[in-house]
């Protein structure tokens, strides 16, 4: 085995929880080698791109806007179910990330594009003191507020054209 490959294998056996199936191991290895994964189209109008690199909310927003259309907006229960299903399909039986940045922030809780929406999916009744929002994969996509400088993985949306 080439030295580079053996280092990667050792790294993942130390970092991943035991027991890890070969499929889960290979998925984790791919996530480290490729910082983003295109997650496909939903309802024919959006293409989501998931980034496995953990970054701040502001950095995530800037990257999404420069490389895609914007951060992902979750404006209905169906949007949330679609995104969660795609991420779970990619990860298989393991969910490594607990939080994934979305394009919601606290300026009267509006989407990064300036739009507002009545759909809310908070894990607790009312968010407290933090100014950015992430969805929690283990809690079926319920939203949690978080400090914007915290580093989480993130998901972008891209128009199909």
pLDDT at 148: 94
pLDDT at 49: 81
What is the SS3 string spanning the chain?
CCHHHHHHHHHHHHHCCCCCCHHHHHHHHHHHHCCEEEEEEECCCEEEEEEEEEECHHHHHHHHHHHCCEECCCCCHHHHHHHHHHHHHHHCCCCCCCEEEEEEECCCCEECCCCCCCCCCECCCCCCCCCEEEEECCCCCEEEEECCCCCEEEEEEECCC
pLDDT digits (tens, 9 = 90+) for 56-106: 999 999 999 998 889 988 888 888 887 777 677 666 544 555 788 999 988
Which domains can be identified in the chain, with CATH numbers? Answer: 1-33 (no CATH), 36-158 (3.10.100.10)
* 151 compared with 49, residue with greater pLDDT: 151
> Is 123 within 8 Å of 142 (Cβ atoms)?
yes
pLDDT at 9: 53
Q: At residue 39, does pLDDT exceed 80?
A: no
Rounded average pLDDT over 33-55: 66
Sign of CA dihedral 31, 34, 36, 40: negative
Rounded average pLDDT over 31-35: 58
Please count the CA atoms within 13 angstroms of the CA of 2 that sit on its side-chain side: 3
Q: What is the mean pLDDT of the chain?
A: 74
Q: What is the pTM of this model?
A: 0.67
Integer Cα distance of 132 and 29 in angstroms? 29
What size, in residues, is the chain?
161
Integer Cα distance of 46 and 42 in angstroms? 6
pLDDT digits (tens, 9 = 90+) for 96-155: 557 889 999 886 788 888 888 788 888 876 677 789 999 887 787 888 999 999 999 888
Q: What's CA 128's distance to the chain center, in Å? A: 21
Q: How confident is the model at residue 1 (pLDDT cuts 50, 70, 90)?
A: very low
pLDDT at 96: 54
pLDDT at 45: 61
């Amino acid at each position: 085995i080439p030295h580079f490959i053996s280092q990667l294998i050792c790294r993942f056996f130390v970092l991943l929880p035991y027991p890890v199936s070969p499929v889960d191991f290979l998925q984790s290895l791919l996530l480290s080698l490729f910082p983003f994964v295109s997650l496909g189209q939903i309802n024919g109008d959006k293409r989501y791109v998931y980034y496995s690199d953990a970054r701040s909310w502001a950095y995530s927003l800037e990257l999404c806007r420069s490389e895609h259309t914007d951060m992902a907006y979750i404006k209905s229960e169906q949007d949330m179910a679609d995104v969660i299903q795609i991420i779970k399909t990619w990860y298989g039986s393991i969910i490594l990330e607990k939080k994934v940045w979305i394009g919601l922030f606290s300026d009267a809780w509006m989407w990064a594009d300036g739009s507002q929406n009545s759909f809310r999916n908070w894990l607790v009744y009312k968010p407290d003191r933090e100014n950015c929002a992430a969805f929690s994969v283990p809690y079926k996509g319920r939203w949690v507020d978080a400090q914007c400088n915290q580093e989480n993985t993130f998901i972008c949306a891209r128009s199909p054209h």
